[in-house]
């Protein structure tokens, strides 16, 4: 069979050179079909690709012989495609079809062709090639199966999933996104996603997203997203980038999680916690007032009443510090810790014109029970320091050093700059007894005092396991 190029005439060796080129390409067969006579001419590679062994039998010489070797489900469509190309309804023939290979396995072939022009030697003839594209079809089939699995996974969970190009252009959302927003598929591609946010959140979300695009840092933000009901609901938006071997960002994958119910529950919990805390503060206030009542008629009871009232106020401060908090009402340090509580308890004693209390060292979280016990202990130490110790002098100093020593947490209270100490007091006051008992029973701690000439040293050693109680 001879196939001429545009404007060319056959010359010596031209067919041989063409055959060599087709053989070099591998998996390519050439064919020519005379529309008027129904005559089909094809090379050995053509028939071999269709499962007909070379030299085994005479190949069919018409188009029906070709179609007979095609999978039954593809025959009619291939015949239509050949007819459309022969009648110039389409400029080019391009059609994939299946055949049974020589080993009985299904082979996918791609037929390509066009009608010859007068310059190529006449009209009425369709020329072309067939190419084995089985591997491509298998790859595409595997890719489709992978995409179907991905879609099945992403659409089976409650989260909204999305992805973008490296420049942040949104080009994929799973069905949960469209179910949540009620938007038509594809309508939020590109930058249209930002219009789904609450107007008060749009600028903040856009700036955070641009920062992630510029730096590659993970995207994490809470914002209000318009629901299909028309209401705005709180969601958490998260995204991570995927990089290639050279470190370039090739894709962003993200999720949106509806947290509106959690936000509402959090607001309710905060309301209840505030109400409970308010009531407890009122109880402390009532008890404090009751303690001071006898002092009105019994002046001799006033010092004792005031000391009890001060202890109640210390407990109230400890309660306020460790009570349940929301993000808005939480302590500045973001957690309930030993040093945070100490800062709160000693702040009244750091007034101008007095001595000073400094806190340094390690830190640990603290629970409600440990906090109340520590509040009583530190209050007693500070009160005595004001009356008799370092804080009774203008230049006095109390240093509180916290040390994390594995399974134990040590708090060292050291006074300097106060009145000289001659030795251990001859009597033990109520406050001293109370603080030792509280340290032992509620903290499971040891409390030791050392009466140095330069000032009192108290070491409180608490099991770490009891700090969170």
> pLDDT at position 186, please?
85
In the sheet where 408-416 sits, what is the strand order?
356-361, 397-405, 408-416, 455-463, 446-452
- Alpha-helical runs (H) found in 347-429: 368-387
Instruction: Read off the pLDDT of each residue in 299-310 and give the average, rounded to a whole number.
Output: 65
Which of residues 324 and 468 earns the better pLDDT score?
Answer: 468
Residues 40-54 pLDDT 10s = 888 888 888 888 765
DSSP label of 301:
G
- Alpha-helical runs (H) found in 50-198: 63-68, 72-86, 134-154, 175-181
> pLDDT at position 458, please?
93
Handedness of CA 314, 354, 347, 378 (dihedral sign): negative
Copy the structure tokens of residue 60: 């069919």
Domain 155-258, CATH 3.40.50.10610 — does that match? no
Instruction: Read off the pLDDT of each residue in 452-456 and give the average, rounded to a whole number.
Output: 91
Q: What is the mean pLDDT of the chain?
A: 80
Instruction: Read off the pLDDT of each residue in 26-39 and give the average, rounded to a whole number.
Output: 84
Q: How far apart are CA 397 and CA 384, in angstroms?
A: 13
Residues 366-389 pLDDT 10s = 887 888 788 778 878 887 888 888
Nearest to 154 by CA among 178, 172, 180, 174: 174
* pLDDT at residue 304 tops 60: yes
> pLDDT at position 12, please?
43
Domain boundaries, the chain: 14-134, 155-258, 263-330, 332-469
pTM over 0.85? The answer is no
Residue appearing with tokens 């916290």: 402
- CATH T-level fold of 332-469: Heat Shock Protein 90 (3.30.565)
Instruction: Read off the pLDDT of each residue in 28-35 and give the average, rounded to a whole number.
Output: 88
What CATH number is given for 14-134 in this structure?
Answer: 3.30.450.20
Cα torsion at 99, 103, 106, 109 (round to 10°)? -50
Nearest to 132 by CA among 65, 64, 75, 48: 48
Instruction: Read off the pLDDT of each residue in 238-261 and give the average, rounded to a whole number.
Output: 93
Domains 14-134 and 332-469 share a fold: no
Query: DSSP 3-state assignment of 452?
Result: strand
Q: How far apart are CA 387 and CA 398, in angstroms?
A: 14
For 188-237, the DSSP string reads TTBTGGGGGB-HHHHHHHHHHHHHHHHH-PPEEEEEEEE-TTS-EEEEEE
The CA angle 410-413-417, to the nearest 5 degrees, is 155
Would you tell me how many other CB atoms lie within 10 Å of the CB of residue 316? 19
> pLDDT at position 250, please?
94
* pLDDT at residue 5 tops 60: no
> pLDDT at position 11, please?
42
315 CB-near residues (< 8 Å, 6+ apart): 284, 372, 375, 376
């Amino acid at each position: 069979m001879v196939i001429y190029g545009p404007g060319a005439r056959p010359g010596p060796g031209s067919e041989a050179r063409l055959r060599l080129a087709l053989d070099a390409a591998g998996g390519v067969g050439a064919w020519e079909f005379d529309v008027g006579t129904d005559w089909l001419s094809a090379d050995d590679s053509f028939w071999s690709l269709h499962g007909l062994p070379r030299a085994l039998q005479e190949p069919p010489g018409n188009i029906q012989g070709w179609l007979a070797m095609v999978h039954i489900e593809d025959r009619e469509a291939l015949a239509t495609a050949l007819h459309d190309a022969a009648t110039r309804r389409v400029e080019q023939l391009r059609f994939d079809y299946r055949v049974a290979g020589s080993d009985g396995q299904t082979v996918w072939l791609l037929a390509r062709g066009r009608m010859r022009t007068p310059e190529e030697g006449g009209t009425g003839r369709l020329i072309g090639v067939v190419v084995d594209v089985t591997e491509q079809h298998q790859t595409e089939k595997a890719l489709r199966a992978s995409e179907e699995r991905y879609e099945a996974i992403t659409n089976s969970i409650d989260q909204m999933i999305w992805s973008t190009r490296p420049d942040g252009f949104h080009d994929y959302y799973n069905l949960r996104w469209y179910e949540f927003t009620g938007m038509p598929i594809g309508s939020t591609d590109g930058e249209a996603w930002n219009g789904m946010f609450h107007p008060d959140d749009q600028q903040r979300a856009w700036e955070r997203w641009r920062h992630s695009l510029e730096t590659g840092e993970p995207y994490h933000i809470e914002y209000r997203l318009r629901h299909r009901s028309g209401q705005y609901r709180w969601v958490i938006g998260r995204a991570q980038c995927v990089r290639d071997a050279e470190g370039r960002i090739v894709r962003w994958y993200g999720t949106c999680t509806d947290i509106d119910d959690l936000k509402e529950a959090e607001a309710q919990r905060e309301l209840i916690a505030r109400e409970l805390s308010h009531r407890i503060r009122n109880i402390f206030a009532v008890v404090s007032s009751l303690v001071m009542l006898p002092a009105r008629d019994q002046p001799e009871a006033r010092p004792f009443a005031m000391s009890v009232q001060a202890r109640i106020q210390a407990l109230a401060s400890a309660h306020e510090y460790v009570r349940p908090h929301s993000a808005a009402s939480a302590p500045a340090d973001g957690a309930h810790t030993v040093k945070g509580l100490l800062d709160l308890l000693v702040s009244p004693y750091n007034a101008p014109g007095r001595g000073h209390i400094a806190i340094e060292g390690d830190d640990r979280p603290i629970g409600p029970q440990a906090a109340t016990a520590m509040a009583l202990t530190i209050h007693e130490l500070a009160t005595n320091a004001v009356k008799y110790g370092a804080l009774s002098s203008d230049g006095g100093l109390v240093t509180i050093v916290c040390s994390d020593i594995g399974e134990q947490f040590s708090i060292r209270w050291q006074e300097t700059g106060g009145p000289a100490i001659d030795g251990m007091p001859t009597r033990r006051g109520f406050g001293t007894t109370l603080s030792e008992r509280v340290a032992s029973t509620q903290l499971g701690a040891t409390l030791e005092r050392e009466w140095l000439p330069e000032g009192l040293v108290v070491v409180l050693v608490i099991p770490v396991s009891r700090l969170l109680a």
